[in-house]
Amino acid sequence: MIAVDWGTSSLRLYRLDESGLVRERRRSDCGAMASTGRFGDVLAQETAGWNDTRILMCGMVGGRGGWREVPYLDCPAGNAELAQGMQRIEAAGFEGRELWIVPGLCDTVSDTVPDVMRGEEAQLAALLDVLPGGAHLVCLPGTHSKWVTVHDGLIRRIATAMTGEVYAILRQHSILGQSMPSAEVRFDAYAFDAGLKRSAQPDGLLHHLFGVRTSRLFRLFDEAALPSYLSGILIGHEIRASGLFSQSPRPVQVHLIGNERLLSSYAHALTALGIGVQRHPEELAARGLHALWARRVEAGTAA
Amino acid sequence: MIAVDWGTSSLRLYRLDESGLVRERRRSDCGAMASTGRFGDVLAQETAGWNDTRILMCGMVGGRGGWREVPYLDCPAGNAELAQGMQRIEAAGFEGRELWIVPGLCDTVSDTVPDVMRGEEAQLAALLDVLPGGAHLVCLPGTHSKWVTVHDGLIRRIATAMTGEVYAILRQHSILGQSMPSAEVRFDAYAFDAGLKRSAQPDGLLHHLFGVRTSRLFRLFDEAALPSYLSGILIGHEIRASGLFSQSPRPVQVHLIGNERLLSSYAHALTALGIGVQRHPEELAARGLHALWARRVEAGTAA
């Protein structure tokens, strides 16, 4: 089968064998936004030479403005609900094959404003398949970082923080970016830790951000260290507001899912705050989609 | 005399009579950024027809990259120190006239990261001239909002929040702006209050920002109400982090200095939080520059 993680700005494709092992992988910039109106053509092109019958997809491909909107499922939900909620679509050029889209999840109860995910549920499905019962906390860092509470195999709470996007627009469009190198720079652990510490002070993120500017005016850091300082402030605020420290008992570890580079920063921050981490790669999505299909087979709803 | 408030992106000029009353006012887009390398020409052009001998200036004109860098004075500082710290500059085309620049202020003691102001000290000078002794809290909302603690005529603490700039870049460059009208919209008190309430919840600004998106996905607000909701969240976070509520005794009122439109939002928010406000117009800067000059005359350092 083919597993497709089709996000807003990127497309990841995996070819799996029967047991769910990834045998080939591809990646493209044709995210859902760039594929509007021509999803079928893009998929045909990107899977050229892969003749597997079954194609399972997750991500913004199933969102509003995607290929086909698949409504969010309500939390709490686990792999049984996700597998059951998959929708099959027909598309020209894919006659004789099976295209499925996995629904996103929404959490309308644990906060006064609803929260959602679309795509991350496939990565979580792989984790749900192997985690023991009880409570687990999962963080999926990114443009929009997801903090997810899992209990006895069910996803119960979703909380999203706009950390990655705020970091990017501050660097590109705010006064803070003016004193930073425009290219990506090496992670500076000293500056990152200073930002992390700063985030513990009570005077708020909006004030801490201005301090990135004054810290440069007063030459507390080199220009090359400022991105790491900013990153430490933002990730520190995200982690401290995640509820991690107010839970009782406090979770001893957080599961981190994502690309290696981003995970290093989060792992560094959590470790500095005395929390253990367990890392999982992005391509967990492929394993998750395979696990969801296996559920449908078990339940006799595979066709 | 002529009082000039020369900020990064705008230039405000006032012609005052002997008693300090504003007789004429002008405004231009030739802020310090647009005037780089030609400050004298811009000033000559913008003051055309005003032949007053004395020209007092404040703002980024005295910053790094301005006309002449005038170093920050350390807090605590009051009108005596500001008047004493004024620097006279010579410029071609202004022979026989007097050009002065007021220094900015920096606070390197009340926080682990220094904070600064440049321009706002002129507005504060007008207030310092009339406030009774004791403690006062002043807020100057804007791109970079300043929260200033005054005690017995001295500016003791400066804390800046990047509220206005973060609001602007979120609207223009983030996913949140995509579901908002691009033009400025009418203030929506219901949405603003909802944002203000949201800011009291413990899960952090970065999460509350994402809620602006989901609140639209779930149709909690109209598109036209979203800017007010976002504004309520940001201003709420700014005010709650200002230390206002942790001071003992809690200040009964805050002095607000700025343009009418922005002050309305802050006055609305503070009133909703049970804090009294006293509003002062932007052009307080003119009165402040006049008051500083009077100090130099009194001290016999006017020449």
Residues A122-181 have pLDDT tens digits of 999 999 999 999 999 999 999 999 999 999 999 999 999 999 999 999 999 999 999 899
Per-residue pLDDT, averaged over B71-88, amounts to: 97
Would you call B281 exposed, middle or buried from its count of C-beta atoms within 10 A (0-12, 13-18, 19+)?
A: middle
CB A116 within 8 A of CB A102: no
- Per-residue confidence at A224, pLDDT binned at 50, 70, 90? very high
Instruction: State the amino acid at position A11 in one-letter form.
Output: L
At residue A58, what are phi and psi to the nearest 5 degrees? -140, 165
CB contact under 8 A, B113 and A214: yes
Question: Per-residue confidence at A303, pLDDT binned at 50, 70, 90?
Answer: low
Per-residue pLDDT tens over the stretch B187-224: 999 999 999 999 999 999 999 999 999 999 999 999 99
B 139-198 → A contacts, CB under 8 A: 144-145, 159-163, 165-166, 169-170, 172-175, 198
pLDDT score for B169: 97
User: Mutating which of A110, A175, A203, A239 best tests the B interface, going by the most B Cβ atoms within 10 A?
Assistant: A203
CA closest to B116 among chain A residues: A214
pLDDT at B248: 78
**Could you report the per-residue pLDDT of A75-126, keeping only the tens digit for each?**
999 999 999 999 999 999 999 999 999 999 999 998 899 999 999 999 999 9
- The answer, yes or no, to whether residue B120 has pLDDT greater than 90, is yes
Whether residue B128 is predicted with pLDDT greater than 90 in this model: the reply is yes
3 state DSSP class of A24: strand
**pLDDT tens digits, residue range B172-191?**
999 999 989 988 889 999 99
pLDDT at res. B303: 63
Report phi then psi at B208, rounded to 5.
-60, -35
Reported ipTM: 0.95
> In this complex, which of A160, A206, A218 lies closest to B241 when CB atoms are compared?
A206
**Would the pLDDT of A11 be above 70?**
yes
Q: Would you state the pLDDT for residue B236?
A: 98
Is A227:A180 a contact under the CB 8 Å cutoff?
yes
What contacts A196, CB < 8 A, 6 or more positions away? A232, A233, A235, A236, A269, A272, A273
Q: Nearest by CB to B161, from A198, A207, A214: name it.
A: A207
